[in-house]
Amino acid sequence: MATPRRVPGEDGIWVLICGDMFVFTLFFMTFLYYRGLEPAVFITSQLKLNRGFGLANTFLLLTSSLFVAAATQRVRNGGANPRWLFLAAMVCGFGFVGNKAVEYGEKFHAGITLLTNDFFMLYFVFTGIHLMHVLIGLAVLAYLQKSCTKPNAATTGLVWIECGALFWHLVDLLWVVLFALFYLLR
């Protein structure tokens, strides 16, 4: 039997998601516009980024998204231990934050700041705004791991759990494009 069509979460969260995606699309386009103006500066600056950090952060967010998606399904279906999956997602999220702190620290230690050039200005601003999203997302996950154990989690509480999960997936989705633009574009 086909799965009935339904809006995951609540309508309002989709307004937030679409708005955020629109703003980040402008960020992505701004980056490529300035890259087109100063290709040599952007390519040499990009070589100063450590792809290992970018790759590790991508895997951390993809894995955390997997945990969150599985936890949401378990809450909905009454499966076992969704809380542990939310906690595992949080561990990945904190891993991302720690990794980013080390990466920023490494850059500052090497004398690279927002004022170094346009590439690093955009790099610090856009990844910084994304990092804020990760921190908000971690607070949301902290709420989810608590609320998923409540008796109404699979009924009236489900919509909030889905909304929180959608926000975390948005954080993951935006990073996928940031990783491609800042670390992989040659």
Partner 1 sequence: MIRLSKSELRLIGIWGILAAITLVSLESIHLKFWDERLQGVAVLILAFIKVRLIMLDFMEIRHAPIALRMIMECWVIIACGGLILLLFNVFG
Cβ contact 137:167 at 8 Å: yes
3 to 22: interface string for partner 1, x by CB under 8 A: xxxxxx-----x---x--x-
Is residue 177 within 8 Å of 24, Cβ to Cβ?
Answer: yes
**Which tokens in the block code for residue 63?**
């894995």
Within 13 Å and on the Cβ side, how many CA atoms surround 163?
Answer: 16
Cα–Cα dist 165/89, whole Å: 10
User: Under DSSP, is residue 114 helix (H, G, I), strand (E, B) or coil?
Assistant: coil
Q: How far apart are CA 93 and CA 131, in angstroms?
A: 10
Q: Which window, 31-39, 95-103, 113-121, 137-145, contacts partner 1 (CB under 8 A)?
A: 31-39
Does 78 participate in binding partner 1 (rule CB under 8 A)? Answer: no
Query: Which listed residue (12, 33, 78, 111) binds partner 1 by CB under 8 A?
Result: 33
Who's near 64: CB < 8 A, 6+ residues apart? 88, 89, 90, 92, 93, 96, 168, 172
- Return the range that interacts with partner 1 (CB under 8 A); candidates 96-104, 120-128, 143-151, 178-186: 178-186
- What's the CA gap between 69 and 88, in Å, rounded? 12
Asked if 66 touches partner 1 (CB under 8 A), the answer is: yes
Q: How far is the CB of 93 from partner 1 (least distance, A)?
A: 15
> By C-beta, is 132 or 184 nearer to partner 1?
184
91 near partner 1, judged by CB under 8 A: no
Site for partner 1, residues 45 to 64, rule: CB under 8 A: 51, 55, 58-59, 62-63
Give the residue with the Cβ less far from partner 1, 72 or 147. Answer: 72
Residues contributing to the site for partner 1 (CB under 8 A): 3-8, 14, 18, 21, 25, 28-29, 32-33, 36-37, 51, 55, 58-59, 62-63, 65-66, 68-70, 73, 77, 79, 166, 169-170, 172-173, 176-177, 179-180, 184-186
